Amino acid sequence: MPQFVSRAQPPLAFIPQSLTPWVIETVRFLLPLWMPWKLSITAVEAENLEVLVKLYQEFQAGDTRFLLAFRHPSTKDPFAMSNMLWRLVPKEASKSGIRFKMPTYSHFIYDRGIPLWAGQFVTWLFPRLGGTPILRGKADRMGLRAARDLFANSPYPIAVAPEGGTNEHSEIVSPLEPGVAQLGFWCIEDLLKAGRSEKVVIVPLNINYRYVSAPWTAIKKLLSELEVKVGLSSTPPAPGLLADQDADALYGRVLQLGECLLDKMDHFYSKYYHLSRPPELEPTDAQGSNRNTQLAVRLQQQLDIALQVAEAHFGLSAKGDVIDRCRRLEQASFDRIYRQDLDQLTPLERGMADWVAQEASLKIKHMRMVERLTMVSGTYILEKPSGDRFAEIVLILWKIVAFTEGVDPHSPPSLGPKALKMTISDPISVSERWPTYKADRRSAKKAVDELTQSIQTALEEMTAKEL
């Protein structure tokens, strides 16, 4: 998360990409050491690599422009993608005696807010790896223009996460944002204006992480640490929701921890912000499924309350879904922290601007908490009580506690070695949908929506095959 801001800052400058081959080659060389050491990834597999080999051939021959639309379950994904493109794709090509004209690099879009918490090194590194930034909370014309130009004109393709951010689940695909589909149609528009005839495709790519062996001991240890942090001292009775007794007992502890966190949040917001959740419609059934259902309902109520606190401070109304509300709040905080008018302020006004920035920096934490809580699912473990799913949920809970404590939530503890699998889908043609898109405004929206749904379906089908 961004550090507390004590003074108003100049506007967030656009960071132009400056892809630098020696930087990429240095990172490529270090990846085999970095992935097991820092990311705990000890096995890597890629399926359907021949699809990308063919696309890179067509791309470098000037026949095709393509965008990689990748699932984004983890902050490890950029390393996974890089390893695949820089090492695995050339290796697959060499099996067939194929030699590329240029390296298999790729540009990528990243959230402009990442350097605020990741630090100066990432601010320096991302552009040199081919990254181009975008501000998520508004129509970032400069960021969109840069991404659009790269897609149509760069000697390398581009990669984008259509989910918009990490969802911390290897086996759930979040609803996709329409920006990827729109970029595809803009690319065709730009090509036609330039008198070019390349076809345009979008390639869905699934990323899946699994523990080499179920880390039950590490899960229980981390869960015990979290129970101490929130003040739980007794082991709850098994809720009777899972057939396996050990898994059911562990799920009871996860449920209890979730309920405790919500109890403390409810107390916090009712005492200090005078906002309370509506009372439950039914009493808690400690041994039945109603307890799990109520937890999901309480969670949604608490998300709304936390967002109300932030929205009240920034003068925003509660429009749209949770993600829409989060994006508007993020941009509102940026507007108060990163000011366009600093050089026009008197010393007194500058002091007031600093005060406003400090308050914005604190109030936006309510939204940051909501971002983390939206990752919690009430049925994820029940649907499949695997070690992987238990681990994902417990790590999300760790990040929530760490965030509240003021500890860096981006450096979670490792629960054990992981295996990485990437699956490339068949390309989805944007060019074939162009006649519909160009007809009129209503048809354009329909084409964007249908293409977005096609990408969503492809990602969900690949994810389902891993279950």
pLDDT digits (tens, 9 = 90+) for 154-182: 999 999 999 988 888 999 999 999 999 99
Residues 420, 72, 462, 89, CA torsion sign? negative
The answer on pLDDT for 139 being more than 80 is no
What pLDDT does residue 289 have? 58
pTM metric for this prediction: 0.91
**Residue in this structure with the two tokens 């506690």, named with its chain if needed:** 401
pLDDT digits (tens, 9 = 90+) for 420-440: 999 999 999 999 999 999 999
Query: Residue 44 phi/psi, 5° resolution?
Result: -130, 135
The answer on pLDDT for 300 being more than 70 is yes
What confidence category does residue 408 fall into, taking pLDDT thresholds of 50, 70 and 90? confident
What pLDDT does residue 445 have? 96
What pLDDT does residue 3 have? 64
Q: List 345's β-bridge partners, or say none.
A: none
Domain boundary assignment for the chain? 21-212+417-465, 216-405
What pLDDT does residue 298 have? 86
Residue 33 neighbours by CB under 8 Å, 6+ apart: none
- Among the residue ranges 65-74, 296-305, 352-361, 383-392, the one predicted with the least confidence is 296-305
- State the amino acid at position 149 in one-letter form: D
307: which 2 tokens?
Answer: 């967002």
What pLDDT does residue 2 have? 53
What confidence category does residue 288 fall into, taking pLDDT thresholds of 50, 70 and 90? low
The more confidently predicted of residues 294 and 97 is 97
pLDDT digits (tens, 9 = 90+) for 208-255: 999 999 999 999 999 999 999 999 988 888 888 899 999 999 999 999
pLDDT digits (tens, 9 = 90+) for 372-396: 887 776 688 988 999 999 999 999 9
How far is residue 162's CA from residue 290's CA, in Å, rounded to a whole number?
A: 34
Range 21-212+417-465 has CATH code 3.40.980.10: no
Q: What is the largest CA-CA distance in the chain?
A: 71
What confidence category does residue 1 fall into, taking pLDDT thresholds of 50, 70 and 90? very low
What pLDDT does residue 31 have? 94
Summary mean pLDDT of the chain: 92
Task: Say if residues 401 and 230 touch (Cβ distance below 8 Å).
Answer: yes
pLDDT digits (tens, 9 = 90+) for 7-17: 999 998 899 99
The answer on pLDDT for 150 being more than 50 is yes
For the residues of 261-274, what is the DSSP string, one character each?
A: HHHHHHHHHHHHS-
